[in-house]
Amino acid sequence: MSTETIVETESTNNDDMARTPVLEITDLTVTFPGMNNNPDVKAVRGVSYAVHSGEVLGIVGESGSGKSVSSMAAMGLLPEHAEITGSVLLHGEEILGKKDTEMARKRGKVISMVFQDPLSGLTPVYTVGDQLAEAFLVHNPKAGKVKAHDRAVELLSLVGIPNPEARYRSFPHEFSGGMRQRVMIAMAMANNPDVIICDEPTTALDVTIQAQILDLLRTAQRETGAAIVMITHDLGVVAGFVDRLLVMYAGRPVEIGSVDEIYYGSRMPYTMGLLGAVPRMDLEDQGALVPIKGNPPSLTDLPSGCPFAPRCPIVRPECEESEPELLTIGARASETEGDQDENTDAQRVACIRSAEIEANGWNAQDIYPVPEIPELEKATGDRESLPEVLRVQDLIKHHPLMKGAVFRRRVGTVSAVDGIDFDIREGETLALVGESGCGKSSTLMEVMSLDRPQRGSVEVMGREVGTLSRSEKFGLRRDMQIVFQDPMSSLDPRMPVFDIIAEPLRTHKVAAREVTERVYELISLVGLNIEHATRFPAEFSGGQRQRIGIARALALEPKLLVLDEPVSALDVSIQAGVINLLEELQAKLGLAYLFVAHDLSVVRHIADRVAVMYLGKIVEIGDTKSIYTQPSHPYTQALLSAIPVPDPERERTRTHIVLEGDLPSPANPPSGCSFRTRCQKFITLSESDQEQCMSVEPTIQPTNGGDQGSACHFAERRSDLV
């Protein structure tokens, strides 16, 4: 079906090695046959691509687009019952349909893979070193244990594991996520393969660790000279990393071309929408995000025409007739025979209107209806005059650190939240940002619990929660509600949507008639249909579930909405819709948001003020614009600089500050300034200044006379980072 076919592979193989792609996939399809009368899942439907030695190919797509399955098929890692057709050539040799024993000789030697989740990717019962040595030994059985051990240690130091000789004997659970991913990369590099497939290698990691891993992958490519296939959903990660980009949707490639062509001249409405839906950390006033309506189609029941047609803003009746092929812009299916060879590297698009888009020079804003979001009337300038919705002072949350599953015992204290102050005014959004383990979620739980804090105070609507009686707390709960991160687990799977949204109302003894009315009102407020009321959460997509969660939180008309990573589990195209909804609700209902997130791009888009947390403390706080354009704390600077932006040209010219090492254990934070162990500024300081960092804990000091303040002895505003 799909077009790319290089015919003369055999002949060119010998005389022109450079021209032969290392890995070439043609017309690959993967179908998982349904069991027990379930329909077949057509996970991949005709994928073709080729990567040459030293080249980096990116494959982007949302969950379920078939991007991972196609590369698993190339590795021969799919379960036996998967039906695979097409061709996978490795150095011109067909490897599809080879026996497992033959494939095993290729895997890890010629073609290797880095997986997404380093947490479960290593066998828990063997040491890291042994698993690494095994990767070497399995392809060099004669090398012997000693040599394998040495190679493993060498690899560990190559990927930047400190003290590799000792770390050889560590078990996977003793490593942090970032270190495990390093080990996975070391494993993939062990036999100097010719292709490395990276399947979302940084998705499970924090931004500063992501920057380290991306750096490492660049090193790995340099060391091995391998071709890299980078699979991701993150348009920022690929922008500065890959040469060519393949966009997948519903198991099919919909656009392929060089990075610049795709980012600056996409001619496929889906890609255009995807790029428009990404919140940009580097743009000051992006305006409303481009939401793509609807959800990706189910792979068991695809529409007959273009799979994107039901969501496409410029759909035509012809789109539903047959699935468009991946062609050069403006070309027609009939004209393509024969002249493919010269054009393999040209941008190709699977859209019948590509020529029209090209001719008109449309971009996402032109073809997608962008919602008008009313601006909230804000009392300009003086936020001090607005009523306070939440004030947190010197809040502390320590909990015991337990060790051992069988012999549980306390081995220390974790300072999850270690003395933080902030306030939120009416109609304002404060974002708490930081990497995992920084204490942002603990802060939020501590605020929501309404219990007396271990130290410090929490005031909601001007009332100190520690002093309230049980019934007063119950009443106060009406004013503050929460929306959670995971749309899978935030709704009781056994309750229909109606009961879920009605629960807060019923708990607070609202009359039955009013409950019914209010629930239906809320359902339409968040953009769902009345018929959805009888359905169960499992019948909804992630974005819809998040809307149900928002409806539930709004039921009691709270004044403060606490949002715990509300969009981080959603695909980009869905995320934009939810972000727009949140902005709209805030403007409409005058809500105050406490927004917890690790994604700084989303935060820039939605927050008025930002507080950056590190190891249980706020290191910098201020209005969004100041923080993003002139961050003064080294950590904020590193954080902002670590985030890749979805803009290839800009990404190529940016210098990233890559922090050293991992987050220290919150059970045993460094003395003085807790960031000093990883601080890029600390190294440049004089010895006496370093002494100060090590012994004196910095407190938040105003840095520009206004709202911005940071906890660094040597704070200095920088504006060259994004």
Instruction: List binders of another protein among 395-454 (CB under 8 A).
Output: 403-407, 409, 445, 448-449
State the minimum distance, in angstroms, from the CB of residue 402 to another protein: 11
Residues 217-236 that bind another protein (CB under 8 A): none
What is the total count of residues that contact another protein (CB under 8 A)? 99
In this chain, which of 394, 492, 649, 691 binds another protein, going by CB under 8 A? 492
Specify the residue, 39 or 493, whose C-beta has the smaller distance to another protein: 493
Q: Is 115 one of the binding residues for another protein (CB under 8 A)?
A: yes
Burial of 370 (0-12, 13-18, 19+ CB in 10 A): middle
Nearer to another protein, 114 or 621 (CB): 114
CA distance 503 to 515: 9
Q: Which is nearer to another protein, 28 or 548 (CB)?
A: 548
Residue 108 CA to residue 194 CA, distance in Å, equals: 10
Question: CB-wise, 3 or 232, nearer to another protein?
Answer: 232
Under rule CB under 8 A, which residues in 140-159 are in contact with another protein?
Answer: none
Nearest to 520 by CA among 531, 535, 508, 530: 530
Q: Per CB under 8 A, which region of 32-40, 330-338, 379-387, 430-438 contacts another protein?
A: 32-40
Retrieve residue 311's tokens: 């969501």
Q: Could you say whether residue 4 binds another protein (CB under 8 A)?
A: no
| Residue 573 exposure: Cα atoms within 13 Å on the Cβ side | 24
Nearer to another protein, 36 or 380 (CB): 36
Rounded CA-CA distance 576/278 in Å is: 7
User: Cβ of residue 122: shortest distance to another protein, in angstroms?
Assistant: 6
Tokens of 195: 């292709």
Q: Does 490 bind another protein (CB under 8 A)?
A: yes
Site for another protein in 533-552 (CB under 8 A): 533-536, 549, 552
CA distances to 42, 502, 504, 556, 700 from 499, in Å? 35, 5, 9, 14, 45
* Residue 191 DSSP class: T
Kindly state the tokens that stand for 338: 């024969």
Taking the least distance from each CB to another protein, the nearer of 346 and 667 is 667
| 315 contacts another protein (rule: CB under 8 A) | no
Q: Binders of another protein among 619-648, rule CB under 8 A?
A: none
Question: Any contact of residue 504 with another protein (CB under 8 A)?
Answer: yes
Stretch that binds another protein, among 334-342, 343-351, 491-499, 707-715 (CB under 8 A): 491-499
Q: Are 450 and 410 spatial neighbours (Cβ–Cβ below 8 Å)?
A: no
Does residue 714 touch another protein according to CB under 8 A? no
User: Which of 113, 430, 460, 627 contacts another protein by CB under 8 A?
Assistant: 113
By CB under 8 A, tell whether 124 contacts another protein.
Answer: yes
Tell me: does residue 507 bind another protein (CB under 8 A).
yes
- Per-residue binding letters, 259-298, with another protein (x by CB under 8 A): --------------------------------x-xx----
Residue from 3, 112, 443, 637 binding another protein (CB under 8 A):
112
Sheet containing 388-403: give its strands across: 409-425, 388-403, 455-460, 463-464
Give the residue, chosen from 477, 650, 717, 718, that forms a contact with another protein under the rule CB under 8 A: 477
Spatial CB neighbours of 720, under 8 Å, sequence gap ≥ 6: none
Minimum CB separation of residue 649 from another protein in Å reads: 31
Q: Which residues, 6 or more positions from 381, have their beta carbon under 8 angstroms from its beta carbon?
A: none
The residues, ordered by sequence, that sit 6+ positions from 146 with a Cβ below 8 Å of its Cβ are: none
C-alpha span between 448 and 657 (Å, rounded): 35
112: helix, strand or coil: strand
Residues 649-708 that bind another protein (CB under 8 A): none
Which residue matches tokens 């270190």? 179
Query: Do residues 276 and 363 make contact, with C-beta atoms less than 8 angstroms apart?
Result: yes
| Contact (Cβ atoms closer than 8 angstroms) between residue 292 and residue 573 | yes
Residue (of 173, 174, 154, 172) closest to 164 by Cα position: 154
- For the record, the structure tokens of 209 come out as 């660790």
Q: Which of 147, 218, 463, 508 binds another protein (CB under 8 A)?
A: 508
- Nearer of residues 34 and 706 to another protein, judged by Cβ: 34
With CB under 8 A as the contact rule, the residue among 443, 481, 626, 632 that binds another protein is 481
Residue 111 per-residue DSSP state: E
C-alpha to C-alpha distances, 352 to 108, 248, 329, 694, nearest whole angstrom: 41, 17, 9, 63
Looking at residues 457 to 476 of the shown chain, list those that interact with another protein (rule: CB under 8 A): 473-474
* Calculated CA dihedral for residues 142, 145, 148, 149, nearest 10 degrees: -170
* Segment lying near another protein (by CB under 8 A), choices 33-41, 46-54, 203-211, 591-599: 33-41
Task: Report the site for another protein in 325-384 (rule: CB under 8 A).
Answer: 371-372
Q: Is 139 in the site for another protein (CB under 8 A)?
A: yes
Cα 578 to Cα 245, 267, 542: the distances in Å are 27, 26, 10
| 423 closest CA partner among 631, 633, 707, 627 | 707
Nearer to another protein, 202 or 710 (CB): 202
Q: Exactly one of 123, 298, 413, 665 binds another protein (CB under 8 A); which one?
A: 123
Cβ–Cβ < 8 Å for 664, 674? yes
Structure tokens at 269: 């409405």
Interface residue with another protein, options 519, 554, 602, 610 (CB under 8 A): 519
Shortest Å, Cβ 39 to another protein: 14
Task: Give DSSP secondary structure letters for 571-588.
Answer: -HHHHHHHHHHHHHHHHH
Query: By CB under 8 A, is residue 169 in contact with another protein?
Result: no
Considering only the stretches 181-189, 268-276, 640-648, 688-696, report the one whose residues sit in contact with another protein under the rule CB under 8 A.
181-189
Stretch that binds another protein, among 124-132, 299-307, 454-462, 689-697 (CB under 8 A): 124-132
By CB under 8 A, tell whether 30 contacts another protein: no
Q: For 259, list phi and psi in degrees, rounded to 5.
A: -55, -45
- 337 vs 513, which CB is nearer to another protein? 513
Comparing CB distances to another protein, the nearer of 577 and 709 is 577
Q: Element (H or E) spanning 213, and its range?
A: helix 207-224
Q: How many residues does the chain have?
A: 722
Query: Which window, 262-270, 479-487, 673-681, 699-707, contacts another protein (CB under 8 A)?
Result: 479-487
Interstrand relation of 409-425 and 388-403 (parallel, antiparallel or unpaired): antiparallel
CA distance 575 to 487: 12
Least distance (Å) from another protein to the CB of residue 342?
36
What's the closest the beta carbon of residue 94 comes to another protein, in angstroms?
19
Identify the sign of the CA torsion 279, 285, 291, 292. Answer: negative
Shortest gap between Cβ of 318 and another protein (angstroms)?
A: 24
Q: With respect to another protein, which residue has the nearer C-beta, 32 or 635? A: 32
Among 18, 361, 469, 513, which residue interacts with another protein (rule: CB under 8 A)? Answer: 513
Give me the least distance between CB of 595 and another protein, in Å please. 16
- When the beta carbons of 484 and 540 are compared against another protein, the nearer one is 484
Residue with Cβ nearer another protein (327 or 563): 563
Cβ-in-10-Å burial (0-12, 13-18, 19+) of 670 comes to middle
CA 631 from chain center: how many Å?
A: 23
Footprint of another protein on 561-600 (CB under 8 A): 577-578, 580-581, 584-585, 588
Task: Dig out the tokens for 685 from the structure.
Answer: 């300081």
